[in-house]
Structure 1
C-alpha cells in the first residue's frame, strides 16, 4: 500500500519505513509554465467539478417526490441550512448559504480522499490549503461586520463586551482584539490541518507497520502485524467520523463568526 508517494515498506535488513512529516512531501507530478503541479493540487481541483456535478445531478430533475439522489442532496443542504439559520439568524443566513455549502463539501470531499485507494491523501493535511480556506472565512465575517457596523463600530463590537466599562477595558480590549480578530483564522486552519495530518500519519504508521512485521520479519511477528493491521482498520473507521466532524466544525464556526459579526452586541 502506497501512502503520500512513499513506495518503500522497509526490509528486515534496513528496518521499517518510519512515517514522518516527510511522508507528506510529494514531488510535483508535472509542470505548467514552470509551476510544479502536485497531487494535492490536482485533488483539490478535481473536487470542484466533482461536487458541482453531484449537486447538479441531485437538483436537475427536482420533483415533489424526490428520488434517492435528490433526497440525499436535500438532506445535506438542509443540514447545512440548519447550521446557518441557527447561528446567523433567519433574516440573514440565506445570503451566506453558498459559502457555507461550498466550504462544507470542499472539506468533506478533500478529507475523504485520504481513505480512497490510489488517491489516499487528505488534501487538508497540507497547511497551505487550510490556511487559504480559513483566510476566506476571516475575510467574510470581518467584511460583513464592517459593512454593517462601520470600521470603528465593528471593532468596538468585537473588543468591548456589552455592559463592561472602567479600567478593566485596558485589559479586555487587547485580549478581545487578539482573540476575535487575530487568533480565529489560525485556530480554524490549525484545527483542520492538525487533525488531518495526525490521522493520516497514524494510518501510514499502522499500515506500514503491519506490512513490515508480517511480510519482512515473519514468524511470530506476524501476530504483531495482524494487530497493527487491526489498528489500521479501526483508525480508518474512526477517520470516517473525524473527517466529517472537521467539515461540520469548520462550517459551524464560520456561521457563528458571521452571526457574531452581524449581531448588535458582543
Structure 2
C-alpha cells in the first residue's frame, strides 16, 4: 500500500526513489582500485571489530582487577559484562552441551554471538544505517566456522564413524539407504551451513530495506509532496520508528538463533548415537 501511494504521487509530478539492492553496494571510501578497497559496509565491520576488542579488553581488565583487589562489589560495566557473558555460557553453551563441552566450545560461541550482534545492530545506528551482516561475507565466514567446528567435534568424538552414522542411520533397511543417504547428506552437510547464512543475511537485508523505505518516504512526504499528501509523512515516520524497534529485536534474536543453532549442531555431532 505504501509503495502504491508513493507511485500515485509520483504520477502527479513528484518523484520518489525507493530503495534497491544497490543499497548494499556503497561507494568505495578508501584504497579504491586495490584488493584492500573499503566501502561503508567494510568500514562498519572494521569499526565493530575494534569496538568489540576494546570492550572485551576492558571487561577482562575489570575482572582481573576485581580478583587481585578482592573487590566483591562489581561496577555497572562489570555487571553488564558478566550478564552478557553468562547469558552465552549458561543459556546457550551449558544448556545444550553441558558444562564440560560447553566450556570447551565457549570461545567460539561467544565470538559468534557478539560478532553477529555487533554487526547487526549497526543497521539502526545513525550514520552507519546498515548492518555489517547485510552482505554475505560475514555470515558466510561465521557459518563456515560453525561448519568446521561441527565436523571437528564429530570427528574428534567418533572418528570416521561420525560420517558413517550420519549418512547411514542405524535401524534403516539397507534398501532405503539409496533414498535416505542423499537426504541425510544434503540436510546435514549442505543445508545446515546454507540455512545459517541465508537466515541471517535475508533478515538483515529485509530490515535495512524496510527502514530505508520508511525514512526515505518520510523525507519525501515532508519535503517534496504537495498539499495534504504531506500528512502521510507522519504515518511513515511512525512506521519507521516501529520498524527500528523491531529491527533491534531482530538483531538480538538473530545473534541468539545463529549461536544456538551452531551449538545444537555441535551437540548433534557429539551425541552418542554417532
Q: 1:41-61 deviations in whole A, cap 9, x for unaligned?
A: 122122222112112222313
Q: Which residue of 2 aligns with 1:60?
A: 61
Mapping 1:1-266, distance limit 5 Å: 13=13, 15-31=15-31, 34-35=34-35, 36-62=37-63, 63=66, 64-82=72-90, 83-150=92-159, 152-265=160-273
Offset at residue 65 of structure 1 (A): 2.0
SS in 1 for 2:88: helix
SS in 2 for 1:29: strand
Alignment size in residue pairs:
256
Distance 1:201-1:28 versus aligned 2 partners, 3 A rule: same
What is the Cα-based RMSD across aligned positions, in Å?
Answer: 1.9
Could you tell me which runs of 5 or more consecutive residues in structure 2 were left unpaired when the two chains were aligned: 1-9, 67-71
* TM-score relative to the length of structure 1: 0.90
* TM-score relative to the length of structure 2: 0.88
Structure with higher helix content? 2
Distance 1:18-1:93 versus aligned 2 partners, 3 A rule: same
Q: Distance in 2 between matches of 1:19 and 1:51?
A: 30
Could you tell me which runs of 5 or more consecutive residues in structure 1 were left unpaired when the two chains were aligned: 1-9
Distance 1:176-1:256 versus aligned 2 partners, 3 A rule: same
Q: Is the 8 A contact 2:14 2:224 kept in 1?
A: no
Q: Is the 8 A contact 2:109 2:263 kept in 1?
A: yes
Q: Distance in 1 between matches of 2:38 and 2:79?
A: 37
Offset at residue 14 of structure 1 (A): 5.8
Q: Is the 8 A contact 2:32 2:38 kept in 1?
A: yes
Q: Distance in 2 between matches of 1:32 and 1:20?
A: 23
Q: Is the 8 A contact 1:141 1:258 kept in 2?
A: yes
Find runs of 4+ consecutive structure 1 residues off by over 6 angstroms. Answer: none
Q: Which residue of 2 aligns with 1:7?
A: none
